[in-house]
Structure 1
Amino acid sequence: MHGGDTSMPGTADLTVALRPVTEPDLAMFRRLCVEPELIGLDWAGFRDAEAPARRFAVDGYLGEDDGRLIVEVEQEGAAAGLVSYTSGRYAGRASYWEIGIVLLPPWRGRGIGWRAQALLCDYLFHHTPAQRIQAGTHPENVAEQRALEKAGFQLEGIVRASEFRAGQWRDGYLYSRLRDDPSPWAAATGG
């Protein structure tokens, strides 16, 4: 799964790809459990740093109802972070995916996030029958709001008191992308 963008200054030659988690990636996963500055606003406290290895041993993070893929910048041969997906269901048989992303600090602000999220949507729409993919973000995370919009998502609204963070309940923004929404790749390349 590859995606590039020639319209962003300074990123014309960046190619972002998604790939399955490998055992060496578990070092990054362990860090995400114990280093608050890597997560930013999504930090929810210290977690078991060995839990990622246990999960990897079960299914390599490629579960039927949830999973994670590594975001890789091909020119650098480096893991820039990860994307996640979790299944959900509205009334009846209306299944959807909820996606998320964590980029390591050196890779933020370089156009990698929107590409990775667009690639993940393409992957999920291609390999599953889901009609809807949704993502939440914080009202103060303007960079992620822009990334989601560039990845083809539309703001649906505010989800009140949806998250307990830093000692209080906080609102969130809910975005969605539907299977038949316009491709973000066409918009990014002017086509």
Structure 2
Amino acid sequence: MPDEITLRPVTAADLDLFEREFSGRQGAGPYQWFGFRSPTALRRRFAETGLFGPDGGVLCVAEADRTVGRVEWFAASWGRPDTSACWSLAIGIVPASRGRGIGTRAQRLLAEYLFDHTRAERLQAWTDHGNRAEQRALEKAGFVQEGVVRSAQWRGGRWHDQILYSMLRGDLSGDGPR
């Protein structure tokens, strides 16, 4: 069981850690490596908005006083955005901190945060069909598997199937369907 896991706003020092840990294939991991990207876009967003906005945001995942990753959310919809919006979630945990339940706890905390501070009814996340660790983490965090989205993600020179998960506001409180 990991030490106390918390979420907090990103600082400039965290950007250095993100760049160092997630900018290469080894740090990103086999399911999140999409090739090299310029770090300036994230730094620009941080300077302009602190990584919070109406279309989503980024928070640090901290274990005690040490940053061990980040969680993100961004707007998605299943129809017209004004009536069918939801949040899509993503996570990145630094390699040295993986496999200890931190991702499960961080995703649960992010779900609680978004249900407390936004009007979202639905949260969703997806992971590669081969990423069993993330599938277990999402399920332990309270997400429900909805199905397979075929050939949805281009990575490593080919298309990959993704497993779609969701959590409804009622699922978090225990009032919704399971």
Question: RMSD of aligned C-alpha atoms?
Answer: 1.5
Q: Which runs of 5+ in 1 are unaligned?
A: 1-10, 185-191
| Structure 2 match to 1:80 | 68
Determine which of 91, 95, 114 is the counterpart of 2:79.
91
The alignment-based identity, stated in percent, is: 46
Does 1:39 find its partner at 2:28? yes
Shift of 1:14: 1.4
Runs of at least 4 residues of structure 1 off by over 3 A?
none
Determine which of 18, 23, 38 is the counterpart of 2:12.
23
Task: Report if the CA contact (8 A) 2:123-2:168 is conserved.
Answer: yes
**TM-score, structure 1 length as denominator?**
0.85
Task: Report if the CA contact (8 A) 1:157-1:174 is conserved.
Answer: yes
Shift of 1:49: 2.4
Task: Report if the CA contact (8 A) 2:18-2:69 is conserved.
Answer: no
CA separation of 1:126/1:182 partners in 2, compared to 1, >3 Å: closer, same or farther? closer
Task: Report if the CA contact (8 A) 1:66-1:87 is conserved.
Answer: yes
Task: Report if the CA contact (8 A) 1:29-1:52 is conserved.
Answer: no
| Structure 2 match to 1:50 | 40
**TM-score, structure 2 length as denominator?**
0.91
| Structure 1 match to 2:139 | 149
Shift of 1:90: 2.0
Larger CA deviation: 106-115 vs 26-35: 26-35
CA displacement, residues 72-107 of structure 1 (integer Å, 9 cap, x when unaligned): 001xx1101000000112224121000010000111
Determine which of 102, 106, 109 is the counterpart of 2:92.
102
SS of corresponding position for 2:171 = coil
Shift of 1:182: 4.3
Q: Which runs of 5+ in 2 are unaligned?
A: none
Report the residue type matching 2:160 in the other structure: R
CA separation of 1:42/1:60 partners in 2, compared to 1, >3 Å: closer, same or farther? same
SS of corresponding position for 1:181 = helix
CA distance in 2, matches of 1:183, 1:111: 21
CA distance in 1, matches of 2:142, 2:18: 28
